[in-house]
Structure 1
Amino acid sequence: MPNKQEERATQMYAALGIGFVCIVIGIPLWWKTTEVYRVSLPYAEISDLSVTKFKYTVDVDIINADESLTENHITQLSRLVSDKLESGEADVIPYYRLNVRDATEKERAKVKSMSSKSDIDGLLLSGEEDINRYQVVIIPKLSPLSLRKPFLSLGRTILVQSAGSTDVSSLANTVSTVFKDSLIKEESLNKVFHASKGDRSLKPEKSSMRSVRSNPGYDVTFTLVNPQPDILDVQWDIEQAVKIYLDPFLQQLEKYAKVNVKSQVLYFTGFLKRMKRDNKKEAFLYTDQDLPHVINPLEAKLGSHTSNNPALNFLVYVPSRDQHPIYIVDSKGVEIESNSFLSPQWGGIYIQNVPGPSENDTLPVPVELDMRRVMEVFVSQLRLLLNFHSLKHGDIDVAEVRSQVISKWELDGWMRSRCLENVGTSIATLQSLSQLLEEISNIVIQDDIGQQVQDAVNSIRESQRHLVEGRLEKAFLESRNAIVCSEKAFFDPSLLALLYFPEDQKFAIYIPLFLPISLPVLASLWKAFKWMRESTKQKSD
């Protein structure tokens, strides 16, 4: 009898030991070895970014060259301008760092010697260190320049003519309006920021709908389309044209965006849609409704796009003899002077009508395109697609850009707008990524993804800090890094590795293996607990 009791006790203890190993050691070990690797992400910081208000600083120097304005007038002007430039509550808050002073004797002499408005460039400030720093020069009421409106130079200088010491309030109102509505465009920046974060409650700006999204690089392709090379031998010196007309534009952008340029020629390709012929003008006319039917058949033959950069296409189309000449007209039937059209976020097409061959000409007839006219159209379209647009405000005169392509204040405005767009897009991307990773717990999060997310958060914070301190260029470069890191993390292919292996499938795979093993173990444990309870009861009796 004692031997049977000892043998039964041995069996029960063995069952308890096996159960202990399976439950206490085996299950946690299995759970740990089958879980996916997920590096910790800064979820709290990403959540805070969505409610963070961004503040950007603009440096404004108001220089008084009007001797009729006394020190009291200057103090009053400083207070009034500061009050008018103050903004209410918003997610994007401008702060104008004002410095109001009298002009020095040398500066007054320079202002008096100005014979034209163009002489103002380089008057007081020069150099790249003056990015985001603007100067307002108040010239006397009786100045020979006789400005009817404030004048904005190609640099960062604004000429404002004084109304005399009796109307300081009007002068302050003029200065504040120039900055808020024309130069800085506070409302537009606020819309850009909210639109980039995915807010559709505000009506988007027309310029933002037309331009391509901000990106560190762009691919630009110039294409000559000649549907009848057997009749017209069209030649274009695109390489030389790019060097003369486009390179100055690209050189001003090389620190902020890389633009890759290539060219090609397409033969035996034309407009598939038949146009209506105007017998009075003896020409074929294209209207706004016809333009989408032009791009679709041509786009399929432009070649594959194998880059992550946005692609911009610029086409020169030489009409075939059975469709010559072609003119683009507006909704009222008036011919468009440039004979070209812009397709938002895609590119532009310029129609070049060339004279047809005469009866005695040997085919194909050589034709040389006027590349100056072609590049003028394409550079202006490229400016619009990259969101460079001149001021068209009735309360201010602006110097013509001409050969400089991009004025300094335009570059500042572009960086400021793109910076806020990059930051808003990065925040929206990080929020979408964090929400996805929190909802789907079995997606693998590698160390490099965690590092990219952290780098994006750090870059957003750094960009925010530089904006507050008025360092616009550094803020833009940090925002560009933020959008690169956030999109690399969001589109990383490793995030999809286990997307189709949810928890229920994991249990479905392992239950057929563990169930036959666990049933005998659980039965043995049940018997062991019953034996222990009986043994305890016998001892107590």
Structure 2
Amino acid sequence: MASLLMKNHSTTPVSQDTHSHSIGAALTFIVILLGIGVPVWWNTTTVQRAYLPLEELSNMVTLAENDQRFHILFKTTEDASVLVKKLQNDLSESEELSSYNFSIVPYPLNPKEVNILLSQNSIDAIDVGFEELSENNLLDGLSIVQVPSHYLPSGKVYIGRHNFLYISEETSILILKCYTTKMYQQTKFLKTDFKSFCSMLASILSTYNLYENSIANLPISNQYNVLLTFATSNLNMVHPSLVSMFEENFAAFSKKFRHVSDLSISSQVVYIGNGHIGADYSTDNNAFILNEEKVVSLINILEPRLGNQLSSDPTFHWVLYVPHEEQSPMYIFKSSSPITTNSVLSPRWNGGGLQIVNGIEHSFAGLALCQLRNALGVFSLQNIEDSYVSLDYDESGVHAWELYLLTRRRTIQFLNQAMITLKSLSQLLEQIGNIVVSEEIKDLVVTSVKMVDAARRAIQNGNLQQAYRDAKVANVCAEKAFFDPSLLALLYFPEDQKYAIYIPLFLPIGIPVLLSLRSVYMHFLKR
């Protein structure tokens, strides 16, 4: 009996030590799991999201093009503050200009400009001199220049090749006299000088809105490709002078247009079998006739050979089809009537088209350049009443004030596109919490927001060149942030998939941990 008691006494401390060790092991396991394992798992599985001003992005408001004020300078050798004030008030109330937001600001001519006025003998020569002074400042805005009366016919105003609009001193005196006496409704001035002046400004400002009504346009971009294709069945039929004619015309236009966007001009020759297409010979016209349906078939034949896949930049296509000598001359007919330009447009070619060439004429290059202008958003004046005179184009085929209006419109478009992209990004990030937002994305978004604000301030201050640069940077950064590949890493990872992954991982571990917690609780409860 005594030996049995001694045996039990000796085994009790051993069982207690074993139980204590098991409790300690359970506590150690619990501490490691909850203190180290869970934090490590949490930090390694948490989606990285750099801070973005999502509320600011979602509240961005796009700009209306017509709400942006045009600043027009009135340049003269004298103090024109009173004249400008009178002119501004009445122009704003005129029927033709009431819908436009503009302001006229008096500005003195500098000594070099005064010297040009005194030394030249025609408006054309004065405009050339002013253009040389402002060659590097194409985007400075419109300026009204008062010139001596003998340069301009009575009742006429002139639009220069650069950013200058010309009126005579006689017109200025009549403006001041008529509005000072408030008798302008009974004067001839209202029907001649003032009407011409209103028509000129209205025509210029109206081109600002023609882009919205245009059917085929190139999308806004910093880089464009212009591809001239000569389609023929015989190499000898593509005259070298025809190729050089096109390249020279487009090169001059590209050089001046670089202030807005870069144009990459290239040409190619495409061979199309034996050159015989389904054209019908007309004895009445002594020519081959190609109707609209067959023109579409010809376009479908040419389209795979134009090389659309060579660049991601918007591409303007202009195809010159030189018919086979056995099918020449060839003309395009629409509803039994010939098309004057012998060409058709293709919406799939970003405003480009196809033109049939039966001979070498300079008008061919002019037509292609005119259509490129329209596709880019450069539109000609609509001088229906012949109330003003616009100087002829130089070799570039585009006036500086046309580029100025185009740049204003594109600045607003770039800003609006950047803000729409940023708003879409903020909505996407708010709706889907699994998207990773890296520091690079954050930097792009912050830069884009800063450039949007800077461009808005520059527009309000009349600094179009700076506004355009900032707007382009804002749009580029917004596009890069939105289409960054890192945003797609966890974009299509549903929430319920997490349970399918984590339950098999934590359930086998969690049950022993819960039982161990129960044992630990009971152990300390007994003590």
- Do both share a fold (TM > 0.5)? yes
Residue 411 of structure 1: which of 403, 407, 432 is its match? 403
Q: Which amino acid letter does the alignment assign opposite residue 301 of structure 2?
A: P
Change (3 A) 1:233 1:407: closer
Instruction: Give the fraction of aligned pairs with identical amino acids, expressed as a percent.
Output: 28
Partner of 1:155: 162
Partner residue in 2 for 1:77: 87
- Report if the CA contact (8 A) 1:422-1:483 is conserved: yes
Q: 1:342 is matched with which residue: 342, 345, 351?
A: 345
- Amino acid in structure 1 at the alignment position of 2:382: K
Tell me the residue number matched to 1:223. Answer: 229
Q: What does residue 62 of structure 1 align with?
A: 74
Partner of 2:420: 428
Are the structure 2 counterparts of residues 453 and 287 from structure 1 closer, same or farther at C-alpha, using a change threshold of 3 Å? farther
Unaligned runs of 5+ in 1: 193-204, 355-369
The answer to whether the 8 Å contact 2:62/2:420 transfers is no
CA drift of 1:460 comes to 1.8
Q: Distance in 2 between matches of 1:409 and 1:270?
A: 47
Please tell me whether the aligned partners of residues 147 and 160 of structure 1 are also in contact (alpha carbons under 8 angstroms).
no
SS of the aligned residue for 2:142 comes to: strand
In structure 1, C-alpha distance between the alignment counterparts of 2:81 and 2:265, rounded to whole Å: 55
Structure 2 unaligned spans of 5+: 1-11, 185-189
Q: CA deviation at 1:151?
A: 2.9
Alignment partner of 1:31 out of 42, 61, 67? 42
Question: 1 CA distance for matches of 2:81 and 2:476?
Answer: 50
User: Contact (CA 8 Å) 1:221, 1:314: kept in 2 or not?
Assistant: yes
- Tell me which residue corresponds to 1:183: 204
Query: Which of 119, 131, 138 is 2:139 aligned to?
Result: 131
Give CA deviations for 1:387-426 in whole Å, capped at 9, x if unaligned. Answer: 1111114365432324241111111011111111111111
**Partner of 1:314: helix, strand, or coil?**
strand
Q: How does 1:118-517 map to 2 (within 5 A)?
A: 118-121=124-127, 126-127=133-134, 128-129=136-137, 131-137=139-145, 145-148=152-155, 150-160=157-167, 162=171, 163=174, 167-168=178-179, 170=190, 178-179=200-201, 181-185=202-206, 188=209, 205-207=212-214, 209-226=215-232, 228-229=233-234, 233-237=237-241, 240-242=244-246, 244-269=248-273, 274-275=278-279, 278-286=282-290, 291-320=295-324, 323-330=327-334, 333-344=336-347, 345-353=350-358, 370=360, 372-394=362-384, 396-517=388-509
SS in 2 for 1:46: helix
Partners of 2:208 and 2:122 lie apart in 1 by: 33
- Displacement of 1:33 in angstroms is 0.3
Shift of 1:102: 11
Structure 1 residues 108 and 10: CA distance shift in structure 2, 3 A? closer
Residues 52, 79 of structure 1: CA spacing in aligned structure 2 closer, same or farther, 3 A cutoff? Answer: closer
User: In structure 2, what residue type is equivalent to 1:136?
Assistant: I
May I ask how many residue pairs the two structures share in their alignment? Answer: 492
Cα gap change, 1:460/1:79 in structure 2, threshold over 3 Å: closer, same or farther?
A: same
Q: 1:508 to 1:308 in 2, by over 3 A?
A: same
- Alpha-carbon distance, 1:473 to partner: 1.5
**CA-CA distance at 1:225 after TM superposition:** 0.7
Distance 1:39 1:502 in 2: 21
Q: Which residue of 2 aligns with 1:42?
A: 53
Distance 1:491 1:34 in 2: 24
* CA distance in structure 1 between the aligned counterparts of 2:324 and 2:412, rounded to whole angstroms: 46
Note the C-alpha offset of 1:317: 0.3
| TM-aligned CA distance change 1:22 to 1:491, over 3 Å | same
Conserved? CA contact 1:464–1:475, under 8 Å? yes
Q: Alpha carbon RMSD of aligned pairs, Å?
A: 4.1
Distance in 1 between the 2:476 and 2:271 partners? 38
Q: SS at 1:300's partner residue? A: helix
Q: Report the 3-state secondary structure (helix = DSSP H, G, I; strand = E; otherwise coil) of the residue aligned with 1:77.
A: helix
- The question of whether the paired residues in 2 share the 8 Å contact of 1:311 and 1:346 is answered with no
